[in-house]
């Protein structure tokens, strides 16, 4: 369930998030959520490279959408 929360961001951080949001075709709100999820996953797994965490999260979404294929060795 979503809940409205107001946060204050430094202007430079808001500008960076806005640029990334436009590149990813997201709203600013959705970009903040995506960035927070990624940051939380990175904090929970400090031994994993950031790109590896991004790839895992992307694979989970692809699997949920039925785009995953079984690995063939």
Answer whether residue 26 is part of any domain: yes
Residue 70 lies in a domain: no
Is 90 exceeded by the pLDDT of residue 71?
A: no
- Residue 22 falls inside a structural domain: yes
Q: Tell me the helices (H) and strands (E) count for the chain, helix number first.
A: 3, 0
Q: Does residue 60 form part of some domain?
A: yes
Residue 6 maps to a domain: no
Q: What is the pLDDT of residues 15-61, one digit of tens each?
A: 999 999 999 999 999 999 999 999 999 999 999 999 999 999 999 99
For residues 35 and 19, the answer to whether their CB atoms sit within 8 Å is no
pLDDT at 2: 80
Domain that holds residue 59: 11-64
Number of domains making up the chain: 1
- Sequence length of the chain is 73
Query: What pLDDT is recorded for position 73?
Result: 82
Which residue, chain included where needed, has tokens 């929360």?
Answer: 5
């Amino acid at each position: 369930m979503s809940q409205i929360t107001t946060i204050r961001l430094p202007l430079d951080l808001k500008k960076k998030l806005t640029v990334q949001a436009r590149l990813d075709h997201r709203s600013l709100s959705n970009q903040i959520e995506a960035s927070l999820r990624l940051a939380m996953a990175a904090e929970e797994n400090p031994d994993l490279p950031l790109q590896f965490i991004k790839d895992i999260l992307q694979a989970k979404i692809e699997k949920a959408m039925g785009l995953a294929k079984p690995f063939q060795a």
